[in-house]
Amino acid sequence: MSRSLCLPLLTALLLGACAPLDIYYKEGADVARSEANLTECQVSALARVPRDMRTRFIPARYAPYTACNAGGQCYTRYRLISPPRTETHDLNARLRHKVVDQCMAEAGYRPVSLPQCDSATTRATALHATQTLPPLTPQSCVIRLKSGNWQIVTP
C-alpha cells in the first residue's frame, strides 16, 4: 500500500477509536435484545420509508494560471482543481432515521452518546463486553474492545 493511502486510513482508524459511542439505551436491557430491536426498527423503517436515491453529476473545475516561455510570451493555461464526479444520496435517509428513533422510543429506548474512557480508567478496568445495559451517570464512559464490542464503565 502506498504512503499516500496509509496516512488517511490510519488517521480514520485512530479517530474512530476516539469517537463517542452512539447507542439506543434502556437501563437493564440485554445488549443482544437491543440490537435485535434496532434491526427490527430499521427493517420496518425501510419498508415504510423506502430509499429515494438521487444522483447528480458535478463537472470538473479548472483554475486559470499564466505560463510564460523563455521568449517572454505568456499564455493562459487551465489547471484541473477537481475532476468530474457523480454524487449519490438518499433523499429519505433523514426521515427513515426519524422513523427508527420513534420505533426505538416506542420500545423504551433513548439515544445516548457515551465518551471514550480515559487511559487510566481503561487500565484499571477488567475488560469484558457489556451484556446488560447498566445504569448511567454523568461519569459513564465506554471502552471499545478489539473484538468490535464495547464495555460501558461507570466509575
Helices and strands in the chain, H and E counts: 4, 8
83-100 pLDDT, tens digit per residue, is 999 999 999 999 999 999
Instruction: Please report the pLDDT score of residue 19 as a whole number.
Output: 87
1-43 pLDDT, tens digit per residue, is 445 445 454 444 444 457 899 999 999 999 999 999 999 999 9
Whether the CB-CB separation of 134 and 114 falls below 8 Å is answered with: no
Predicted TM-score of the model (pTM): 0.71
Residue 92 class from Cβ within 10 Å (0-12 exposed, 13-18 middle, 19+ buried)?
middle
Whether the CB-CB separation of 52 and 93 falls below 8 Å is answered with: no
CA 48-21-97 angle, to 5 degrees, is 15
Which grid cell sits at 50? Answer: 423506502
| In the chain, beta strands by DSSP E | 21-25, 53-58, 61-68, 74-82, 85-90, 110-114, 141-144, 150-153
